[in-house]
Amino acid sequence: MPTAISGIFPALTTPFEKGELSVNHLKSNIEKFERIDLSGYLVLGSTGEGVLMNDRESLKALETVRASASEGKTIIAGTGMQATRATIEFTNLAASAGADYGLVVTPFYFKRQMTAENLENYYREVADKSKVPILMYNVPKFTGLDLPIKAILSLAEHPNIAGLKESSGNLALIGELMKTCPEDFALFQGTGSVLFTSLMLGVRGGILALSNMAPAETVEIFKRVHAGEIEKAREIQMRLITLNERVVNTYGVPGIKCAMDLLGYFGGHPRPPLQPVPQEIKNSIGQLLKDASLL
């Protein structure tokens, strides 16, 4: 089993300018994030619009984050494709570009055929042939399917599968996995609204879209829980719940990018077919940030 990782990782947005990847703005965002005690970064995840990018610009974004991050920061790259072979190839390209881990989403296009057995075979082959450890990624709101617990428990024993990013928001599943998975299997919460509760259940940390808007606060929740300062951690989480539910879960990537612009990062426009939020929603996001004491 690979060395376990822990802590808070922003699921980074990808800055575009005039429709093209903006390396300079990506560097600038990382410079700001580096002021906070984050464990590392996820590049090319769902929040990073990785599915809307080609391999060339995806690898360029990854190389930029690797070069901009300080020594010791862990870099995770979203590398899941629909085909097993394509996933293996891109995961190994990402490893060469500086990724420490590959985050592999469940293949979903032929979802009726994505049985527990087929998904287990997929992850085993990817893990067998990947040059870096992988994290499985369960995100049913985008894929339309859940990674079955039977498959997770079986795959948790694989020596090159380091853990799981669990983004269904199902706390009962988190609890069941914490009871039954090996101790060195790194379970990460992917839903910012339940970070505190998941940490109380014993997860290793969070890989969160919310951490683009509240990086210091999500790190503080993590640290306070581990220090036994439970009430303070709970207070911070309660302050962020509505922000996460409205911006991340309702407005999505365009809303997150708008919030980042308001907070002094570069969010910019999403890549079409996604569109920027209208002015009315911008105003609403500004108020949500004020209500959360972030603006």
Residue-wise pLDDT tens digits, 222-281: 999 999 999 999 999 999 999 999 999 999 999 999 999 999 999 999 999 999 999 999
Q: Could you give the 3-state DSSP secondary structure of residue 135?
A: strand
Mean pLDDT value across residues 149-165: 97
Q: For residue 115, tell me if it sits in a domain.
A: yes
Which residue(s) pair with 137 in the sheet?
Answer: 105, 165
| Of 194, 204, 285, residue with least CA distance to 233 | 194
Is 165 an annotated catalytic residue? yes
Percent of the chain predicted with pLDDT > 90: 99
Q: Going by C-beta distance under 8 Å and a sequence separation of 6 or more, which residues neighbour residue 119?
A: 106, 107, 147, 148, 151
Let me know if residue 35 belongs to a domain: yes
Q: Looking at the predicted structure, is the pLDDT value of residue 1 above 90?
A: no
Residue 4 confidence class, pLDDT cut points 50, 70, 90: confident
Strand partners, 188: 165, 205
Residue 219 lies in a domain: yes
The CATH number given to whatever domain includes residue 87 is 3.20.20.70
Considering the domain boundaries, does residue 264 fall inside one? no
Question: Which range marks the domain in which residue 123 is found?
Answer: 7-229
Structural domain tally of the chain?
1
Selected catalytic residue, list 165, 257, 282, 290 = 165
Q: Are 200 and 234 in contact (CB under 8 A)?
A: no
Residue 223, amino acid: K
Q: Is residue 244 part of a domain?
A: no
pLDDT tens-digit profile of 188-198?
999 999 999 99
Q: Is 262 among the domain residues?
A: no
pLDDT averaged over the chain?
97
pLDDT of 3 reads: 57
Q: Is residue 213 part of a domain?
A: yes
Residues 6+ apart with CB under 8 A from 187: 163, 164, 166, 174, 177, 178, 181, 202, 203, 204
With tokens 């800055």, the residue in question is 15
The CA distance from 136 to 155, in Å, is: 9
Dihedral in degrees, nearest 10, Cα atoms 247, 44, 208, 99 = -160
268 occurs within a structural domain: no
Beta strands 20-21 and 186-189 are: unpaired
Report how far residue 100's alpha carbon sits from residue 89's, in angstroms, rounded to the nearest whole number.
Answer: 15
68 three-state secondary structure:
helix
Q: What is the pLDDT of residues 29-82, one digit of tens each?
A: 999 999 999 999 999 999 999 999 999 999 999 999 999 999 999 999 999 999
